[in-house]
Amino acid sequence: MNSADEKALDERQLEIDVDNENYENDVKWLLEQKQGMRFFKKFFSKSNIFGCTFTGNSRSYFLDGQRELALGYFKDFTRFSPAKMSELWLDIVQKEK
């Protein structure tokens, strides 16, 4: 690998790092807004994130896809802002009782 290749790789890695940092900051900002909390409360509730997605027919694939998408966000949000995620999750669980 020559120095031009290394420079290109370093630049690309910097872009990736900036994108990741922006995403984390965006998530933290969203979870600080009451509108963001309302949106994700509804999103996680509808995704049946910790429920069963098996229906015995092809709808299971759709439900599992919804759940998989929500799990990715749940993982990221919990890592970036654990206190806000706990607050959000407790609110969801209490409303489902």
Please tell me the predicted confidence (pLDDT) of residue 51. Answer: 84
In this structure, the number of other CB atoms found within 10 A of the CB of residue 63 comes to 16
Domain boundaries, the chain: 3-96
Q: What is the pLDDT of residue 97?
A: 66
Helix count (H) and strand count (E) of the chain? Answer: 4, 0
Q: What is the mean pLDDT of the segment spanning 4-29? A: 94
Is residue 50 very low, low, confident or very high in pLDDT (cuts 50, 70, 90)?
confident
State mean pLDDT over 23-50: 93
What six digits make up the tokens of 35? 């509108």
Supply the pLDDT for residue 49: 87
Q: Which residues contact 3 (CB under 8 A, 6 or more apart)?
A: none
In degrees, rounded to 5, the angle at the alpha carbon of residue 50 between the alpha carbons of residues 30 and 93 is 65
CA 70 to CA 50: how far, in whole Å? 10
Nearest of 86, 94, 50 to residue 70 by alpha carbon = 50
Supply the pTM of this predicted model: 0.79
Looking at residues 47-72, what average pLDDT do you find? Answer: 91
